[in-house]
């Protein structure tokens, strides 16, 4: 029987480790504390990825810049209505809008007044709709005056030129010590009201003279009877001129209302919805 001598085992050299297939030398172990941290980071990344779209959608939308004053809000019977003109009617209807929402819903004039819904409608929507109705009515009135030969051009650009010319005339008159009636300078809004008032009076006269609005005596008597309270302590004979004036005004307003109701109105919503209410 042969005998062998055992030698104490020696640690392998790196070369021996590689020869036995341990390509990386000694295996590096992952610290136990790093495992839960890694899992936590992965979970957080997944959570952020899931929630980020929702967080993005919850942010308030960016404010829409107001359109330029020359942009067209709507067309009425083919007549362009620029933002600058539409803004006049918005200004005229703001007080009525505050009154309406204050009385009907108890709404106060606060930061959220214009954007708070009441019965599905915000004050901004209400204001724009009233302004659109106003500009439609006035536009058909201006177009009628144009057809009757009282207005050379019913467009707003023509009005602006006339306004600037009138103010220049008034400045010159003041500089040369001439007498002028009314303000030294008209604001755009005041001049528009002044022109429209005079034009409407001239248009009523024209329609009466041409019998587009007839004023037969029997119609005037019927009107006097129906509106007796408007002419207290007067007979038909003594109130004849007043009765005729009131009757013509009533018929004129009814005519303009019919024209406005049948007008072809096309709203350019991209501009209309961007016009600021306040």
Tens-digit pLDDT profile for residues 137-157: 999 999 999 999 999 999 999
**Confidence (pLDDT) at 19:** 43
Query: Is 2's pLDDT higher than 90?
Result: no
Q: Is residue 264 part of a domain?
A: yes
> Greater confidence, 97 or 37?
97
Rounded CA-CA distance 252/105 in Å is 35
What's the rounded Cα separation, in Å, for the pair 85 and 70?
A: 9
Q: 3 in a domain, yes or no?
A: no
Evaluate whether residue 248 is within a structural domain.
no
Q: How far apart are CA 133 and CA 139, in angstroms?
A: 10
**pLDDT for position 227:** 97
In a domain, 159, yes or no: yes
Q: What is the mean pLDDT of residues 44-59?
A: 39
Long-range contacts of 157-166 (CB under 8 A, 24+ apart): 159/192, 159/195, 160/84, 160/188, 162/195, 163/188, 163/191, 163/192, 166/191
Two tokens, residue 196: 């429209």
Top-confidence residue, 10 or 209: 209
35 within a domain of the structure (yes/no):
no
Question: What is the percentage of the chain residues whose pLDDT exceeds 90?
Answer: 74
Give the range among 33-47, 58-72, 133-147 with minimum mean pLDDT: 33-47
pLDDT at 51: 38
Q: Assign residue 211 a region: left if phi > 0, alpha if psi is -120 to 50, beta otherwise?
A: left
pTM of structure:
0.75
Q: pLDDT averaged over the chain?
A: 84
Quick check: 135 pLDDT over 50? yes
| Residue 110: band (very low, low, confident or very high) from pLDDT cuts 50, 70, 90 | confident
In terms of residue numbers, what domain contains 153? 76-207+254-272
Cβ pair 126, 105 in contact under 8 A: no
As a whole number, mean pLDDT of residues 220-235 equals 95
At 243, list the tokens: 């009765």
The reply to whether 131 falls in a domain is: yes
Q: What is the CA 243 to chain-centroid distance, rounded?
A: 41
For residues 78-85, give the mean pLDDT: 97
What pLDDT, on the 0 to 100 scale, is given for residue 63?
Answer: 61
Q: What is the mean pLDDT of residues 107-111?
A: 88
* Span 210-238, average pLDDT: 96
Residue 116 counted as domain residue: yes
Please check whether residue 25 lies inside any domain of the structure.
no
Domain count, the chain: 1
Per-residue pLDDT, 278: 76
């Amino acid at each position: 029987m042969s005998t062998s001598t055992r030698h104490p085992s020696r640690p392998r050299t790196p070369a021996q480790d590689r020869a036995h297939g341990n390509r990386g030398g000694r295996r590096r172990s992952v610290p136990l504390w790093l495992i839960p941290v890694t899992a936590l980071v992965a979970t957080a990344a997944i959570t952020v990825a899931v929630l980020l779209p929702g967080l993005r959608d919850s942010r308030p939308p960016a404010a829409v810049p107001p359109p330029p004053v020359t942009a067209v809000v709507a067309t009425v019977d083919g007549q362009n209505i620029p933002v600058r003109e539409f803004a006049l009617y918005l200004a005229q209807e703001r007080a009525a809008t505050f009154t309406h929402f204050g009385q009907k819903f108890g709404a106060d004039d606060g930061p959220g007044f214009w954007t708070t819904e009441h019965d599905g409608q915000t004050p901004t929507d209400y204001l724009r709709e009233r302004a659109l109705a106003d500009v439609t009515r006035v536009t058909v009135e201006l177009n009628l005056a144009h057809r009757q030969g009282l207005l050379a051009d019913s467009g707003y650009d023509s009005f602006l030129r006339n306004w600037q010319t009138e103010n220049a005339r008034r400045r010159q008159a003041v500089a040369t010590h001439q007498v002028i009636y009314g303000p030294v300078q008209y604001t755009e809004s005041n001049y528009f009201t002044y022109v429209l008032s005079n034009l409407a009076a001239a248009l009523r006269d024209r329609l009466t003279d041409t019998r587009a609005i007839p004023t037969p005596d029997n119609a005037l008597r019927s009107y006097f009877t129906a509106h007796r309270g408007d002419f207290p302590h007067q007979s038909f004979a003594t109130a004849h001129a007043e009765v005729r004036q009131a009757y013509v005004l009533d018929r004129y307003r009814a005519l303009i209302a019919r024209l406005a109701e049948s007008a072809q109105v096309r709203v350019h919503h991209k501009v209309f919805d961007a016009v600021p209410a306040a």
